[in-house]
Amino acid sequence: MIAYNPLWLSNLFMREQADKALQENCLDKDEWDRINNKYPVHFYSPNVFIRIGLFMLTTVILLFSFGLFALLFLDSIDHVIGGLAIFFGLLSYAALEYMVQIKKHFQSGVDDALLWIAACSVFGGISYLIDAGDLANCMIVFCISIFCSLRFADRLMSAVLYVSLLGVFFFMGINLGNVFKAFIPFVIMAISITIYWLIKRTKGFEIYQPYSNCLQVISISALLSLYVAGNYYVVRELSNTMFNLNLAQNEPIPMGWLFWCFTLAIPCFYIFSGIQKKDIVLIRIGLLLVAAIIFTVRYYYSVASVEVIMTVGGILLVAVSYGLTRYLKSPKFGFTNIETDSADVNKKLQIESILLAQTFTSQVSSPDTTNLGGGNFGGGGASGEF
Q: Is a pLDDT exceeding 70 seen at residue 333?
A: no
Secondary structure of residue 105 in the 3-state scheme: strand
How far apart are the C-alpha atoms of 65 and 185, rounded to whole Å?
Answer: 43
Q: Is a pLDDT exceeding 90 seen at residue 383?
A: no
Q: 2 lies in a domain?
A: no
Q: Which pLDDT does position 139 carry in this prediction?
A: 96
How far apart are the C-alpha atoms of 353 and 345, rounded to whole Å?
Answer: 12
Q: 251 lies in a domain?
A: yes
Cβ-based burial of 117 (10 A; exposed 0-12, middle 13-18, buried ≥19): buried
Neighbour tally for 100: CB within 10 Å: 24
Q: Which pLDDT does position 163 carry in this prediction?
A: 96
Whether residues 169 and 210 fall in one domain: yes
Q: 313 lies in a domain?
A: no
Whether residues 223 and 280 fall in one domain: no
Mean predicted confidence (pLDDT) in 180-209: 85
Whether residues 144 and 226 fall in one domain: yes
Whether residues 169 and 146 fall in one domain: yes
Domain, as residue range, for 245: 236-303
Domain boundary, last residue among 278, 303, 328:
303
Please say whether the beta carbons of 199 and 218 come within 8 A. yes
Q: Is a pLDDT exceeding 90 seen at residue 193?
A: yes
Secondary structure of residue 379 in the 3-state scheme: strand
Q: Which pLDDT does position 364 carry in this prediction?
A: 43
Q: Give per-residue pLDDT as tens, 121-174.
A: 999 999 999 988 899 999 999 999 999 999 999 999 999 999 999 999 999 988
CA atoms lying within 13 Å on the CB side of residue 184: 26
Q: 268 lies in a domain?
A: yes
Whether residues 251 and 176 fall in one domain: no
Q: Which pLDDT does position 207 carry in this prediction?
A: 67
What's the whole-number average pLDDT of the chain?
82
Highest mean pLDDT among 23-32, 122-131, 236-245: 122-131
Q: Which pLDDT does position 358 carry in this prediction?
A: 53
Give, in order, the Cα–Cα distances in Å from 138 to each of 85, 132, 276.
Answer: 18, 9, 37
Mean predicted confidence (pLDDT) in 193-206: 85
Q: Which pLDDT does position 13 carry in this prediction?
A: 83
Domain boundary, last residue among 182, 200, 230:
230
Whether residues 159 and 209 fall in one domain: yes
How far apart are the C-alpha atoms of 5 and 16, rounded to whole Å?
Answer: 17
Q: 1 lies in a domain?
A: no
Which of 272, 278, 267, 273 is closest to 331 using CA atoms? 278
How far apart are the C-alpha atoms of 202 and 212, rounded to whole Å?
Answer: 10
Q: Is a pLDDT exceeding 80 seen at residue 89?
A: yes
Q: Which pLDDT does position 348 carry in this prediction?
A: 46
Structurally, the chain folds into a number of domains equal to: 2
Q: 68 lies in a domain?
A: no
Q: Which pLDDT does position 104 carry in this prediction?
A: 92
Whether residues 220 and 260 fall in one domain: no
Domain boundary, last residue among 215, 230, 245:
230
Whether residues 268 and 222 fall in one domain: no
Q: Is a pLDDT exceeding 60 seen at residue 304?
A: yes
